[in-house]
Copies of this chain bind each other. A is one copy, B any other.
Amino acid sequence: MSSLDQITQALAALSIKPTSTVSHAATNSPASWKDALSAETSSPKSFELIKTIVYKPKTAKNATPVPVVVIAREETETASGALGKKLNLKELRLASEDLLSEFFTLDKSSLSPIALNSTTFPKVTVVLDSSIEVSETAFAIHAGSSSDTVFVSGKDLVSYLRSLETADAKVQEIDFVALKAEAVAPAPAAPKSKDSGDKALSKSENPIQIAIAAKKDEDFSTWYTDVLIKADMLDYYNVSGCYILKPWSYSIWEAIQRWFDDKIKALGVQNAYFPMFVSKKVLEREKDHIEGFSPEVAWVTRAGRSELEEHIAIRPTSETAMYPYYSKWIKSHRDLPLKLNQWNSVVRWEFKSPQPFLRTREFLWQEGHTAHLTREEADKEVLEILDLYRRVYEELLAVPVIPGVKSEKEKFAGGLYTTTVEGFIPTSGRGIQGGTSHCLGTNFSNPDMFDIFVEDPNDPVGKGKIYVWQNSWGLSTRAIGVMVMVHGDDQGLVLPPRVASVQVVVVPCGITAKTTDEERKRINDKCEELAQSLRAADIRAKADLRDGYTPGWKFNDWEQKGVPLRLEIGPQDIAKNQTLTVRRDTGKKDPVPLEGLPQIVSALLDDIQNGLFTRAKATYQERLKAITKWEDLVPALDNKNVVVIPWCEREQCEDDIKERSARAAEPTDERAPSAGAKSLCIPFDQSKWDAIEPGKTKCVGCGHDAKRWTMFGRSY
């Protein structure tokens, strides 16, 4: 049986029927091959050649090389430099004829995807041009010799390669066009892929991609969602606007929870749980308040087969659900302050396009609801909580924020005043609200509303009623999204050490096919030993001892996931009693001694944490422009800045600024809804800018007398 027959038979076993098979003159170049095929009448009218290129990566002297077999369309550029970076392999060189014979018992001209079989496939790294599978063209491949060709569809070619996959060896698909674009800043290599097994989800919900699909500066929203998926933080869910928080992101929320929960408990706050349901009557009690939420309320109208008599809302926030009980529970000034907090989820059925973490129909948050005897106490707590929010952002997430008070227009519906910490996303030049601490005044406690009062303890005879002063305050998982947007880069996520569930990953290096089991164990044990010594010093360290992945694959995997620090350990490192540290934030590599490693790592992690914050803070400061003339405002916004202006604090002026800045703006990005600038906050710290002179300093918006410097910006 000829090799052509053998191959045809092998294909047939996979139900792959070549479009045609052609025997022709021997060929030794793409041009001569194409000519030979075009000469044959049994060739398809139009077709493309498949090239099969074998590279050899630089390998330790005694190690068996793992060749890289690239299967691509003839016209595709497969630059070995970019490819090497992508695969994290050093110095890819075209394989020698010796190597080809050794592996495939074939010469270069006869090489073809079909030369891969169940014996050779596991010994090489197979890289597939991702444009092949989706092409309608017939592809020509050599069949065992340079004088035999079969024509197959792209789909069948991929099927054949997939049929060779084992649990340990997978085809890596690469988009070479994207790769070329990324050549300057390399993107990490492919995670393992499998096309089957996801019948339960529609294709569009199950993107299998191999690197961050877009550059942060070029297509920010694609970059953002792709980083979240690739870093394994999140997955799409089959109810629109809802997302799955996977452990990699949920653990960040847990870190925030633990820190914040301890702090508020120290302030005397207790946790409680109120039902997620709110009756229509109760929800609609406060008019201004409900106006802010009613367009987004989800309603339960049916249970089992029964229609409910009264429709029941899922809480969009819990003020009106909780305060009837505050009225019941608060009987005397001794019951004050009442400070309750809930860790729960709320539902706001937004119809704008959703964005993970930033705008989702269900989101996790905490909502604190407190009642106080005096305004002074309430005011004090508002700021104490706001400062905790600032610290969550600045100290945990390394994200700088500016604390201030919201304008009347932007304050919480139904409240007295709202304080906020305002963040900034440099890539989009937009402001983003980080967390809000509201003083509700007596707006909810008054007798027409929830009637929450105590007798005046300083007037026991007259028994004057005191309506309690209330606050509410909330911080949501949005914070995680802000962190991703601020710190992430073209390689993926960058995690601040304080919230990283894995702060340090230890990767064994220099293990090859020739490494003895004993040596492999020695290296792996050393990694585990280092990780343990770090864990003993309360550093969240993990040794990545997974079999079957190259160090390069692991480097990329953890870089994509944003692990702050990598330690590499190979035989030579062990010999020198050292390890190579690689920082995720700067890419800086430094060998350090194993002696005193926990102290060194701890200091490095602090430096990374501080470095992330310092850089982000410098950017925010630089991009917050003090503007005193209207004509400078829109250009500043268009240059991706937010601004601070002397402002009159009139709502009409705010509306006007929004309208005028929107007209001037670039076309609105669908996912960044506010094209006009709105007020972000009136910063508490006004000292950074020239003092406002009453009656002299004029509002940039309208020319009336200015009151305070106020931040305006496009925003999320």
A residues apposed to B, CB below 8 Å: 118, 122, 166-168, 192-194, 197-201, 206, 235, 237-239, 242-247, 250-251, 253-254, 270-279, 282, 294-306, 311-312, 314, 323-325, 327-334, 340, 344-345, 347, 349, 351, 361-362, 364, 450-457, 460-461, 463, 546, 548
Contact = CB atoms under 8 A, between A and B. Distances in A.
A294 B300 contact: no
Given A167-B460, A244-B272, A362-B277, A197 B296 contact: no
Contact of A298 (B270, B300, B329, B451): B300
15 contacts: A118-B461, A192-B331, A197-B330, A200-B450, A239-B312, A242-B277, A245-B272, A245-B274, A276-B276, A294-B304, A295-B305, A298-B302, A298-B303, A301-B302, A334-B546
A250 B273 contact: yes
A275 B239 contact: yes
A274 B311 contact: no
A457 B275 CA distance: 47
Contact of A332 (B167, B314, B327): B167
Contacts of A270: 247, 250-251
A361 B273 CA distance: 14
B297 A304 contact: yes
A467 to B, nearest CB: 10
A688 to B, nearest CB: 39
A330 B198 CA distance: 9
A197 B295 contact: no
Given A167-B332, A167-B460, A197-B331, A275 B237 contact: yes
A245 to B, nearest CB: 4
A193 B340 CA distance: 22
A166 B244 contact: no
Nearest to A456: B167
A324 B546 contact: no
B301 A296 contact: no
A273 B364 contact: yes
Given A237-B274, A238-B282, A334-B546, 6 more contacts: A197-B451, A206-B328, A242-B277, A247-B271, A275-B362, A296-B303
Given A166-B463, A271-B251, A457-B167, A276 B194 contact: no
Q: Top 5 nearest A-B pairs by Cβ distance?
A: A200-B324, A303-B349, A247-B270, A242-B275, A194-B331
B327 A244 contact: no
Contacts of A247: 270-272, 340
A225 to B, nearest CB: 16
Contacts of A295: 304-305
Contacts of A460: 122, 166-168
Nearest to A324: B200
Contacts of A362: 275-277
Given A118-B461, A312-B239, A325 B451 contact: no
A311 B305 CA distance: 13
A454 B325 contact: no
Nearest to A239: B277
B452 A197 contact: yes
A243 B275 contact: yes
B314 A300 contact: yes
Given A192-B331, A277-B242, A330-B197, A271 B296 contact: no
Nearest to A314: B300
B299 A272 contact: no
B197 A324 contact: no
Nearest to A335: B192
A210 to B, nearest CB: 14
B303 A299 contact: yes
A250 to B, nearest CB: 5
A301 B297 CA distance: 11
B197 A453 contact: yes
Contacts of A245: 272-274
A620 to B, nearest CB: 30
Contact of A166 (B242, B300, B325, B455): B455
A244 B325 contact: yes
A604 to B, nearest CB: 26
A498 to B, nearest CB: 18
Nearest to A168: B460
A358 to B, nearest CB: 16
A231 to B, nearest CB: 14
Contacts of A328: 197-198, 200-201, 206, 235
Contacts of A122: 460
A251 to B, nearest CB: 7
A325 B454 CA distance: 52
A297 B194 CA distance: 35
A383 to B, nearest CB: 24
Contact of A455 (B167, B238, B330): B167
Q: Most chain-B CB neighbours within 10 Å: which of A323, A331, A334, A451?
A: A331
A237 B548 CA distance: 56
Nearest to A261: B254
A254 B245 CA distance: 22
Nearest to A449: B200
A448 to B, nearest CB: 10
B334 A548 contact: yes
A250 B275 contact: no
A302 B294 contact: no
A334 B192 CA distance: 11
Contacts of A297: 303-304
A475 to B, nearest CB: 16
Nearest to A546: B334
A166 B246 CA distance: 55
Nearest to A344: B345
Contacts of A238: 279, 282, 324
Contacts of A456: 167
A487 to B, nearest CB: 22
B349 A304 contact: yes
A442 to B, nearest CB: 14
Nearest to A269: B247
Contact of A301 (B118, B200, B301, B361): B301
Contacts of A330: 197
Contacts of A304: 294-297, 349, 351
A65 B282 CA distance: 48
A198 B327 contact: yes
A558 to B, nearest CB: 15
Nearest to A281: B238
A274 B247 CA distance: 11
